[in-house]
């Protein structure tokens, strides 16, 4: 049986439909780990605050966790492709980036 062009096009699109993954970024020792994360559109990123002080994950105009208390976490779903640099608004030395590809 021959597959139609439409069927082949649908198969070619399958990788984009792969199940979304969840990635964990730890907020620890006043830093984000990993500091660089590569994800795909639709993936979830969960920030877990393992420090004893509150932090945020803030990419101005793109996402903002607000205060994440010690021991708490916050989740966000990656949008379309692009690079997002973010900081902790309480501790400007805490910087990290996410590449959505």
Tell me the closest approach of the beta carbon of residue 17 to Cu ion, in angstroms.
Answer: 36
Residue with tokens 């979304």: 20
DSSP 11-79: HHTGGGGSPP-EEEEEEETTEEESSEEEE-TT-EEEEEE-SSS-B--EETTTEE---B-TT-EEEEE--
Instruction: Show contacts with Cu ion in window 61-100 (CB under 5 A).
Output: 88, 90-91, 94
| Closer by beta carbon to Cu ion, 80 or else 92 | 92
Q: What are phi and psi of 34, to 5 degrees?
A: -75, 155
Under rule CB under 5 A, residue 33 binds Cu ion: no
| Closer by beta carbon to Cu ion, 25 or else 94 | 94
Which of 32, 43, 49, 55 touches Cu ion by CB under 5 A?
A: 55
Q: Name the residues that contact Cu ion, by CB under 5 A.
A: 55, 88, 90-91, 94
């Amino acid at each position: 049986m021959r597959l139609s062009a439409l069927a082949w096009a649908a198969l070619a699109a399958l990788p984009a439909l792969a199940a979304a993954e969840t990635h964990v970024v730890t907020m620890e020792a006043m830093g984000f780990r990993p500091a660089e994360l590569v994800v795909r559109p639709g993936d979830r990123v969960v920030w877990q605050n393992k420090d004893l002080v509150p932090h945020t994950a803030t990419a101005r105009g793109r996402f903002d966790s607000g205060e994440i208390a010690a021991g708490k976490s916050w989740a966000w779903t990656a949008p379309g492709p692009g690079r997002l640099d973010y900081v902790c608004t309480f501790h400007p030395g805490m910087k990290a980036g996410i590449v959505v590809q």
